[in-house]
Structure 1
Amino acid sequence: MTTRFGYTLMTEQSGPRELVRYAVGAERAGFDFEVSSDHYSPWLTEQGHAPYAWTVLGAVAQATERVDLMTYVTCPTMRYHPAVVAQKAATLGLLSDNRFTLGLGSGENLNEHTIGEGWPALETRQEMLEEAVEIIRALFAGDLVTWRGDHFDVDSARLWDLPEEQVRLGLAISGERSIGRFAPLADDLIAVEPDGDAIKEWNAVDGVATIGDGARAIGQIPICWGPDEDAAVEKAHEQFRWFAGGWKVNADLPTTSGFAGATQFVRQEDVADQIACGPDLDKIVENVSEFWEAGFTDIALVQIGDESQDQFLKEAAEPLLEKLRTAAP
């Protein structure tokens, strides 16, 4: 498979009308696909947004024609019942003319605690995700589903509007144990770190499609392009210092104030060490290359900062994509 490059509709940093506009601009600039976060809250107060991702994606599906779309990622276990997620995904598959992939994960406390049901331990969250995927698969098949499980009940549910092609499922994985558990349930792998071992472990699971030959490995990387490097580093620190904590931390903190406290000692230089900032497109390509060198087939870029999106899409996106496609396999 040729490496594909995507654009992130980051609901934590932009309002719904802006996100639809950026989606159109990203398609025009030549991105292959677009992924959307699915948040109830931003990571940090400075980001300032959290519109409903599914409404945005419905609008994006009508405003675009070519790009593939994806949630990156939806938690189908707490805020949303899996039967409802299946219905939303099927509808979006229809609206997008089969361009939609349902990306699923076990969620973050930041978003899921809002319903007041507490935050389960990791093993319980993974059990819930596994059961949710089984329910979603059954509904995607068009069956009349009644389910009595350890975590969910479904009573005589059927999806009445299904797309011509069954919606693909991508599952977020973290470690060998979760790969063994979720690879047989998924069409595609999702991960936010360029971990080549994860690709090898996925490919070693019996009965699953190989990454690059039927299955995709979809990664994501933040960048902060801008004409002034110092200003870009400052913006990345303001908006994305939460990223320095890693996902084991990020999954468990419940509020923006928690993330503010956890990242109070993260310095600008710490962020600059992790995120390519400024006008140097070759530096961005070098950072992104870690993903395709690890075996990822699809890589979504996150351009940090709402106010920079129009300029990025107008001035930097096309030459950056040209450089990425020249360098990537």
Structure 2
Amino acid sequence: MVEIGYKLACEEHGPRELVCNARQAEDAGFAFAMISDHYHPWTSTQGQSPFVWGVIGGISQVTATLPLVTGVTCPTVRIHPGIIAQAAATAAMMMPGRFALGLGSGESLNEHIFGDPWPAAPIRIEMLEEAVEVIRLLWKGGMQDYYGAFYTLENAQVFSLPEELPPIYIASEGPISASMAARVGGGFINAGSDAEKNLIIFRDSGGGDKPAYIEISVCWADTEETGRMTAYEQWPIPANTGELNRLLPTPTHYEQVAKMVTMEDVAEHVVCGPDPEPYIKKIEESAKKGFDHVCIHQIGHQQQEFMEFYTKEVLPHLTK
């Protein structure tokens, strides 16, 4: 049976609100949550971007059963994988048995900010694979040295390690990263781009029956028109295609691109309005593609209303 999760979008909500939303998601019966890791929001309208590891600490103290996945963290440019190894180990200690480390190759929007060049996609994937190697080396415990193509460790040791190490899931929206995810990851994450094709590559490359996560953006609202307008104003990102979302460097650039798409363009990718049937259909379509974890991202600030809607109108149809 497919598990339904809730997206904690750090681009749209402040740290205290995210912690509160996580608690409410647990109470509402969501099977898991995913939390994004950004330095910038996509657009200034979204308006937030707290430090995810601080937020995770807060979530660990107000939830008791809700599994949490970073969806996703980039351990390659802005943050050295040795730091991610320490941060994720701490999170796993604070949430025993319910934390998973989702990793991806990132976006220029978040990663170029200290003046580092933004590598081409194949190089980013190589960096991500080496970063996973660094993280797992440090999770072995003891003093470690590492001299790789991209990263160096000298006399590094993560002293605080959980009894149960968290799984590492790899995000992919292309064939190279999909096969790499099968090779080095314990699971697969897709944000919705070429999902079925890349999941097939993941499975055929050795992914087997490992967990597969997909994210769906929706906008519950009192009317479909209101939902469409909110999605267009708050989250025009789904209308962008290809490599664009990996290359633009600032929220201003995404705002410029947003002027080139219409509300209808965004609505083609985002379920909007109060009717539960399109939401149920979208989840069922994802399950038919082979995803066993579907994470729902509610756009905008009506999070509590959305959770009430899902609890009453959507989840019961998916647990029969």
| TM-score (normalised: structure 2) | 0.96
Task: Give the unaligned 5+ runs of structure 2.
Answer: none
Q: Which of the numbers 289, 304, 309 marks the counterpart of 1:310?
A: 304
CA contact (8 A) 1:29 1:318 kept: no
- Provide the rounded CA distance (Å) in 1 between the counterparts of 2:15 and 2:170: 25
Describe the shift of the 1:253–1:209 C-alpha distance in structure 2 as closer, same or farther (beyond 3 A): closer
- 5 Å-filtered alignment, 1:194-205, equals 195-205=195-205
1:235 maps to 2:230 = yes
Over residues 79-117 of structure 1, what are the superposed CA-to-partner deviations in whole Å (9 max), with x where a residue is unaligned?
110000000000000101121000000000110111221
- Provide the rounded CA distance (Å) in 2 between the counterparts of 1:271 and 1:172: 22
Describe the shift of the 1:285–1:247 C-alpha distance in structure 2 as closer, same or farther (beyond 3 A): farther
- 5 Å-filtered alignment, 1:225-304, equals 225-246=220-241, 248-304=243-299
1:96 maps to 2:91 = no
Over residues 127-151 of structure 1, what are the superposed CA-to-partner deviations in whole Å (9 max), with x where a residue is unaligned?
1111101000111122432011111
CA contact (8 A) 2:181 2:187 kept: no
Q: State which drifts further: 16-25 or 282-291.
A: 282-291
CA contact (8 A) 2:178 2:199 kept: no
Residue identity in the other structure for 1:161: S
CA contact (8 A) 2:213 2:294 kept: yes
SS at match of 1:156: strand
- Pairs aligned (count): 319
Identical counterparts, % of pairs: 37
Q: State which drifts further: 192-201 or 5-14.
A: 192-201
CA contact (8 A) 1:98 1:164 kept: no
SS at match of 1:220: strand
Describe the shift of the 1:224–1:29 C-alpha distance in structure 2 as closer, same or farther (beyond 3 A): same
Q: Which of the numbers 306, 320, 325 marks the counterpart of 2:319?
A: 325
- Provide the rounded CA distance (Å) in 2 between the counterparts of 1:265 and 1:110: 19
| TM-score (normalised: structure 1) | 0.93
Q: CA RMSD in A?
A: 1.4
Q: State which drifts further: 27-36 or 169-178.
A: 169-178
Over residues 137-173 of structure 1, what are the superposed CA-to-partner deviations in whole Å (9 max), with x where a residue is unaligned?
1111224320111111101112111111111000012
SS at match of 2:268: helix
Over residues 220-264 of structure 1, what are the superposed CA-to-partner deviations in whole Å (9 max), with x where a residue is unaligned?
010001112211110000011122103511011111110111121
CA contact (8 A) 2:145 2:152 kept: yes
Residue identity in the other structure for 1:53: V
Over residues 185-229 of structure 1, what are the superposed CA-to-partner deviations in whole Å (9 max), with x where a residue is unaligned?
110011122633323322222xx4522xxx100110100011122
1:110 is aligned to: 109
CA contact (8 A) 1:44 1:242 kept: no
Task: Give the unaligned 5+ runs of structure 1.
Answer: none
CA contact (8 A) 1:140 1:167 kept: no
